[in-house]
Structure 1
Amino acid sequence: MHKKILAASLAICSFLTAGAQSGPLHVLDIKNAAALREFFHYTGKDIPFISGHRGGINKGFPENSIEALDNTLRHTHATFEIDPRLTKDSVIVLMHDATLDRTTTGKGKVGDYTLAELKQLKLKDIDGNVTEYRIPTLEEMIRWAKGKTVLILDKKDVPFQMTADIIRRNKAEGHVMVTVHSAKEAKWYHERNREIVFEAFVKTQKALEEYEAEKIPWSHIMAYVGPDNKPELKPLYENLNKRGVMCMISTAPTYDKLPDAAERTKAYRSIIEKGASLIEADRSIEAAEAIKPLLPKSSAKSKFFKLAKK
């Protein structure tokens, strides 16, 4: 049953993403885990970029949908933070909330429904408008994303072992990362799969020291330093950068909520100017447009940023 649902939904997604938007995809040409580590290695001459929070949240394209990621990639290169959750029959689907009410035509808890039942629902966009798009499984998303982008799995209700298994089963270490909130969580994954790259919470010098104490290789870490572009981050940036670590600020709970577009543009640019290498934003397309003037004229990292052939 699951294989039939997967095949049908992949066919639907292929049709929708081919027809819903025009223009080539901005793809990240990252072929394996070693290339992914190189992509995230801080050099001081890197290309700043956007990570779409919950897959990027833009009008008409529901969060955590394949169509939302595809839409963003029609405008800019990006990685994407997404939210895995378990169904009643233990399939991993993508849904930020534990409940269905806000983002789908369903009601109640995600975990009270089977995959087949969830596939009957339609997704809503940021304005609450019902779309024709359906809830994807994580496996569908992983297969779609290969050769296009990098997925960053947030920590929800999926057991660590299931997350590790789906990455290994799909040989996805080159385009799927795992969010870890502590050095001990990173150690759990690293002991089981030395190829996995992390979006790691490193908000303080103490946290940095904990990752070093657990001997997590800095080559495997991109650091999330928090939601605020504050001056106090400067020494943390310096300590992480000299270890070859890129730093990321998430604007979803802060600057994305500014009501004025000009103020948001100023905020996005300031984040990069003050030392972050990338921005995780709800407004993925808008944030990418804002930082365009800050892109270097040349960079060794240019080899990763490609346009897909039509």
Structure 2
Amino acid sequence: MNTKKHRISNPTLWLTILCLLTGNLLFAQHKGLQVIKIKNTQQLHAYFKYTGKDIPLISGHRGGTTKGFPENCIATFENTLRHTPAFFEIDPRLTKDSVIVLMHDATLDRTTTGKGKVADYTWEQLKKLKLKDSDGKVTPYGIPTLDEVIVWSKGKTILNLDIKDVPLEMTAQKLLEHEAFSHVMLTVHTADQAKYYLSQHKDAMFSAFVKTPAALKTYEAAGIPWTQVMAYVGPHNKPENKEMYELLHQRGVMCMISAAPTYDKLPRATARETAYRNIILDGADVIESDLPIEAATAIQPLLPAKSAKQHFFGKRK
């Protein structure tokens, strides 16, 4: 594994050169989509299983935002997949008439042309709004429903549903309706939440908050299968994580650091690059980021030359 720290002044140029030199096109930009090929829950579990020889994974927080592409938007997901395979953490919320849409905030003001609470609008009313990008610029894209995103994502990527205001029962029913447990995982904050989902579908996959040994014990006491867990260990890459990496890796569990509230906000690209690489070098297996394309470029030198998981990655027009 190449652990040398590069300083990238032009990430796209460097990535192109690197791919040509190494022949590793996993993260190379191209016109089509770089997809994650998952057909059933067994493959989903295998994709997230820690083996010690895994390809570091990228999660697009809210899809991954960039100029012209708003968060929680299908066009944004596709833009990310044109550069790197990734799965996506997204935010389901309920409208006034109980349609599940994607929206991180409880209010519309920051990310749309509307104002007020999402829950005060019907779906027909929300259809008339446009999404804004991270700079506040209005885009041509509208708010998607969870139904639309589940249908779009099948055969392309994995969705990770965060917990907002949608009842667990409604979320489980939606996945059953679409037969989507094969490519949709569920964020859970507690073992009890995971236990409920397992009562609805025995093969449900989780992005679980397991930040401490005490939290780990609650999942074990509840009988949550570790084969169905990816562990979120927090937003900071710190020495204290080493204990959790060891405990979770012993159980075959991949560990995720979210750079969204921390390292994504570093003002210099070189500082972010170093931070993303150090997350992987220090023992994490997954980076969740608002800047998934940049994070994928940064960790390119850390990809293993060969991996048994290579077959999960492919391309689509």
State the TM-score bracket (shorter-chain normalisation).
over 0.9
State the 1:23 CA deviation: 0.4
Q: Deviations over 1:143-197 (max 9, x none)?
A: 0000000000000000000000000110001110110001111111112211210
| Aligned with residue 177 of structure 2, among 164, 169, 178 | 169
- The one-letter code matched in structure 1 to 2:46 is E
Which residue pairs with 1:63 in the alignment? 71
Which of the numbers 171, 181, 188 marks the counterpart of 1:180?
A: 188
Following superposition of structure 1 onto structure 2, how do residues 203-218 of structure 1 map, counting pairs within 5 Å? 203-218=211-226
Q: CA RMSD in A?
A: 0.9
- Equivalents in 2 of 1:274, 1:233: separation in Å? 9
Contact 2:30 2:83 in 1 (8 A): no
The Cα shift of 1:45 comes to: 0.5
Equivalent in 230, 234, 238 of residue 230 of structure 1: 238
Following the alignment from structure 1 to structure 2, what is the Cα–Cα distance between the partners of residues 152 and 59?
23
Runs of 4+ in 1 over 3 A off after TM superposition: none
In the alignment, the residues of structure 2 paired with residue 59 and residue 162 of structure 1 have an alpha-carbon distance, to the nearest angstrom, of 33
Alignment partner, residue 307 of structure 1: 315
**Which region of structure 1 is more displaced relative to structure 2, 219-228 or 22-31?**
22-31
Counterpart AA for 2:136: G
Residues of 1 paired with 2:158 and 2:218: CA distance? 26
TM-score, scaled to structure 2: 0.90
Structure-2 separation of matches of 1:155 and 1:138: 13
Q: Does the alignment pair 1:74 with 2:82?
A: yes
Which one of 108, 116, 120 corresponds to residue 116 of structure 2? 108
Matched residue count? 289
2:209 alignment partner in structure 1: 201
Alignment equivalent of 2:305, drawn from 280, 297, 304 = 297
TM, length-normalised to structure 1: 0.92
* In 1, Cα distance between equivalents of 2:130 and 2:244: 43
> Per the alignment, in what secondary structure is the counterpart of residue 62 of structure 2?
helix
The residue number in structure 2 matching 1:29 is 37
Fraction of identical pairs, as percent: 64
Matched residue type, 1:128: G
Q: Indicate which of 113, 129, 134 corresponds to 1:121.
A: 129
Structure 2 gaps, min length 5? 1-28
CA distance in 2, matches of 1:226, 1:235: 13
Q: Is the 8 A contact 2:91 2:164 kept in 1?
A: yes
Unaligned runs of 5+ in 1: 1-20
1:24-43 superposed Cα distances (whole Å, 9 cap, x missing partner) = 10000110111000000000
1:281 pairs, out of 289, 301, 308, with: 289
Could you give the per-residue CA deviations for residues 9-63 of structure 1, whole angstroms, max 9, x where no partner exists? xxxxxxxxxxxx9701000011011100000000000000210001111111000
